[in-house]
Every structure is written in structure tokens, then in C-alpha cells.
């Protein structure tokens, strides 16, 4: 079990599934850590699945009408049995809007932060330096 609950940001999954030339190995190491953890030690949101799919479609030249490609991405997430995928709640949308100015984040990052704060994570795994303005420790 990890010492604290961790939120996994979109970029980790994009680097992993997209076989990023620079960040793949670091992302792969986080995926291995997730797989070796207890369920719930690592959390992401349903927004992450959607954003990862959209980004990878753009990077690969595929589109959201390609059911096989979309299914491959979703299956990669669902095979991570130890990863807790937290749904967005109605209150997350308003809390995220409120956090935008407080932490100088865009709405997408604020939505991730709203879920992270609601689930009381202590750390966020991301290379997005925008999260350095929040009260959750960023790891990469």
C-alpha cells in the first residue's frame, strides 16, 4: 500500500498508451506501481478516460467514430484493476469553476482537482506544472 492516496492525471495515460518517445518509461513505471498497489491507492476520474481518448485520437489521426480504437483505450483502463475510476459528480463541476481563479487553472485541470480534493488525495501524479499552485503535492 502506498503511504498516501494519489490522483493520476491524464498525461500519464497519454504517455503510456501513446508510447511517448520521452515520457513512456516514466509513465510505464507508474502503471506498474498502480498494478502492484491496493485498490484505491491510485485514483483518476471518468474525465481522464474521455480526455485520453480524445488526445490519442488526435495524436494518431484516428477519430471518435473508430469503435475499435476507442475500445482499445477503454480496455486499457479497465484492465488496471487496482486503479479506482471516480465518476464526476454534479458538485465537481461547480467546485471546479470556483477553483479556476483560486488556483489559476483552466477548467479541465480544475475538474481533475475537484475530484482529487473530494476524494482526499494527498498527491497528484502529473508533469503539468499548473498543479504546483494547489495544496496537493505533485509527483512525476
Q: In sequence order, which ranges of the chain are alpha helices (DSSP H)?
A: 10-17, 24-35, 46-60, 67-78, 90-103, 107-118
pTM of the predicted protein model: 0.93
Neighbours of 78 (CB within 10 A): 11
The whole-number pLDDT of residue 1 equals 52
What is the domain-level CATH number for residue 122?
3.40.50.1010
Q: Return d(Cα 98, Cα 96) in angstroms, integer.
A: 5
The per-residue pLDDT for range 1-47, each reduced to its tens digit, is 556 799 999 999 999 999 999 999 999 999 999 999 998 899 999 99
Mean pLDDT of 66-89: 95
Q: Return d(Cα 38, Cα 46) in angstroms, integer.
A: 20
What 3-state DSSP class applies to 45? strand
Q: Is 81 a member of any domain?
A: yes
Q: Is 137 a member of any domain?
A: no
Range of the domain at 21: 6-127
Mean pLDDT of 90-98: 96
Amino acid at each position: 500500500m502506498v503511504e498516501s492516496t494519489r490522483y493520476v492525471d491524464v498525461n500519464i495515460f497519454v504517455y503510456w498508451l501513446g508510447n511517448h518517445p520521452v515520457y513512456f518509461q516514466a509513465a510505464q513505471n507508474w502503471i506498474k506501481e498502480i498494478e502492484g498497489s491496493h485498490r484505491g491507492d491510485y485514483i483518476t476520474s471518468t474525465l481522464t478516460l474521455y480526455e485520453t481518448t480524445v488526445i490519442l485520437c488526435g495524436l494518431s489521426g484516428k477519430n471518435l467514430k473508430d469503435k475499435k480504437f476507442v475500445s482499445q483505450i477503454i480496455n486499457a483502463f479497465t484492465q488496471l484493476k487496482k486503479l479506482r475510476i471516480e465518476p464526476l459528480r454534479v458538485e465537481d463541476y461547480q467546485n471546479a469553476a470556483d477553483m479556476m481563479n483560486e488556483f489559476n487553472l483552466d477548467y479541465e485541470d480544475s475538474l481533475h482537482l475537484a475530484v482529487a480534493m473530494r476524494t482526499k488525495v494527498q498527491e497528484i501524479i502529473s508533469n503539468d506544472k499548473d498543479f504546483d499552485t494547489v495544496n496537493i503535492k505533485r509527483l512525476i
